[in-house]
Structure 1
Amino acid sequence: MNSNPTHLVTRSGLKLSVRPAGAKDEPILQELFHHVSEDDLCFRFLSGLNEIGPQQLRTLLPSTDGNAASFIVFAEDGPPVASGVLVWDKAHGRGEVAISVHADYRNHGIGWTLLSFIANEAETRGLKSIESIESRANVAAIELERDMGFSVTAYPGDPTLTLVSKPLGKPRAE
């Protein structure tokens, strides 16, 4: 994976720099997650967390088994504003996405822009679909994903969750 930052612009015009997270980024991610709302922490980790601990922080850093990528997003003026993780199962051709956005930077198009970026990364890795497990209460994320073409279905075995998924790639002409 290229370690150089990718420059993106949200629909609201906010300029972003996205780069892969590395092992030395733990303090940056910890600081970012001090600014993620309690509701968003609960939605991101599907638990009643009030703050992120070492175990959750490790899930945001690169994996050693080579089946995950983690990204940090910075605003043009420098602060970290979002985190995104893609974990994939190449055998089944799908990836799971999780995104968190700094509370002060919500509603600026960062989630949409980062999800689009990660979908492109997933497609580059040869994945056929991406998905996310969402709390039914996370209406904003589910609506954003619907707007981006994700389908929403019940999550097997847990009525409090939904599975949102989207095929990747261009359909082939028959």
Structure 2
Amino acid sequence: MATAKSPVRRHAPHLRGRLAESPNTDPFADQAVPPPEKRIEIMTEQSLDLTLSEAGGTHIVTRGGIELTLRPVTAKDGDLLTRFYDSLAPDDMRFRFLSAQLHLSSAQLAAMIGVDHRHREHLLAFETGTEELVASLLIAADDTFEAAEVAIAIAPAYKGHGVGWSLLNHAVDLAKQRGVKLLRSIESRANREAIDVERTLGFRSSAYEGDATLALLEINLSETAG
């Protein structure tokens, strides 16, 4: 169990562990940086003037030249997401959820499609033209938008083409535009590729208290230009 840390870290959600079944419990109570096994609740409090939602489609081109169309998840995407995560390699599932699971649980799937599109946004990235699902980008902010956490999963066929860098850069821009001050990700130390990508975008790595196998990657958006 993680012990108390700085006030900034206390407000950051934890996307990597198991997603909870209940949508009504505060996931931030009395936790500095929650442990991987913590059950995360879907946040239902809504702000009238702050949102992570992207109402329409967004187009980006990766550094590898792949054109992506991003859109928010909908209630109809359950089967699509199930097939997507079933296609991931065991290591990719372990890196995404920090557990040895091979498939999404029903609770995880419900949480992924049940985001409130304000504090929590789940964007699906499709290859423009083929409409094939390339990646999943989930970003969750605390109720004051002081801090947020990002998690990305990429289809095996699209790894190594700059998708992760482009989506993480998009998440940084989105969080910054919404006034988020701290963006973070929790990674397995074995996931060197993700850690290296995060560092190129200005994330700083530190020890994850309570688990030597994990690294905490954070970027202070109030200190970045643009």
Q: TM-score, normalised by structure 1?
A: 0.91
Cα distance in 1 for partners of 2:213, 2:167 equals: 25
Of 137, 140, 150, 1:97 maps to 150
Distance in 2, matches of 1:171 and 1:117, equals 14
- Indicate if the aligned counterparts of 1:62 and 1:69 stay in contact, CA closer than 8 A: no
Distance 1:18 1:65 in 2: 14
Aligned equivalent of 1:86: 139
CA distance in structure 2 between the partners assigned to 1:29 and 1:43 by the alignment: 17
The residue correspondences of 1:35-50 to structure 2 (distance < 5 A) are 35-50=87-102
Question: How many angstroms does 1:58 deviate by?
Answer: 2.5
Higher strand share: 1
User: Is 1:125 matched with 2:173?
Assistant: no
Instruction: Give the number of equivalent residue pairs.
Output: 172
Contact 1:90 1:127 in 2 (8 A): no
Distance 1:99 1:3 in 2: 20
Q: Measure how far apart 1:65 and its partner are.
A: 8.7
Partner residue, 1:13: 65
Calculate percent identity across the aligned residue pairs.
37
**Partner amino acid for 1:71?**
L
Write out per-residue CA displacement over residues 66-91 of structure 1, whole angstroms, 9 at most, x where no aligned residue: 42110000012210010010011143
Q: Which stretches in structure 2 are left out of the alignment for 5+ residues? A: 1-52
Structure 1 segments of 4+ aligned residues over 4 angstroms from their partners: 169-172
1:19-58 matches, within 5 Å, as 19-58=71-110
Q: If the length of structure 2 is used for normalisation, what is the TM-score? A: 0.71
Query: Which amino acid in 1 is paired with 2:177?
Result: T
Give 2:220's match in structure 1, choosing from 164, 167, 172: 167
1:114 and 2:167 correspond: yes
* Counterpart-to-counterpart distance in 2, 1:106 and 1:164: 21
1:146 is matched with which residue: 185, 195, 199? 199
What is residue 74 of structure 1 aligned with on the other side?
Answer: 126
Structure 2 Cα separation of the partners of residues 55 and 12 of structure 1: 34
